[in-house]
Chain A
């Protein structure tokens, strides 16, 4: 039973570029949440998708957008990258009203 799968594992982008990160949830999970984890910090909530719609959003600018597909997989898009967007991006899946999250291993994004 595969857990949460994220791709790519590492990515280097230039300021101003756009990036798309991908997440496949754990089998049977229908809800996907995205978190940004800066070095030495706790994860910060970006947004959550359920039934292909953004259900909750954290305090992140509109440059951060996402999508959920009918198979529950999800994408995180970041436009106009800033140096401060460099972080580990974690995807977590869960069941609606289920117990806790299962995290993926993350995508390490470096903006230069």
Chain B
């Protein structure tokens, strides 16, 4: 089955700096890659997603890039704010309705 690895496990940045989280996947059939933000004690919330026919997608301060050849995708957060502090999970799926394989999460701390 699919194996998703996520790095780093923890990340601390100064407010206003950028944060980058990287994930790799093993199954070349995967073609949908969502990113979820989970604040302490709350539900995971979808923040951005990308399909394999697209190399990059941006939504305000958040962007995701995908390299199908290398089987890796990354989350980029610019101009970080303290409210960006949370655990971020990447995931991979063969299609949007299928089971998601999640990474182990990155705990992001934005220092004011």
Chain A contacts to B: CB under 8 angstroms: 4, 31, 33, 40-45, 48, 56, 58-59, 90, 94-106
Give Cα A29–Cα B10 distance, bound, in whole angstroms. 34
Which residues in B have their C-beta under 8 angstroms from that of A56?
98-99
The 0/1 profile, CB within 8 Å of A marked 1, for residues 47-68 of chain B is 0010000000000000000000
Which residues in A have their C-beta under 8 angstroms from that of B89? 42-43
Given A41-B105, A42-B105, A103-B36, 8 more A-B residue pairs with CB atoms under 8 Å apart are: A40-B105, A42-B91, A43-B89, A43-B100, A56-B98, A95-B97, A96-B97, A101-B34
Q: Answer whether A45 and B99 are a contact pair too, CB < 8 Å, given A90-B44, A105-B42.
A: yes
Given contacts A100-B46, A103-B45, A105-B42, contact A45 B101 (CB under 8 A): yes
CA distance A33 to B44 in the complex (A): 14
Most buried by A among B6, B97, B105: B97
> Does A97 contact B96, Cβ atoms closer than 8 Å?
yes
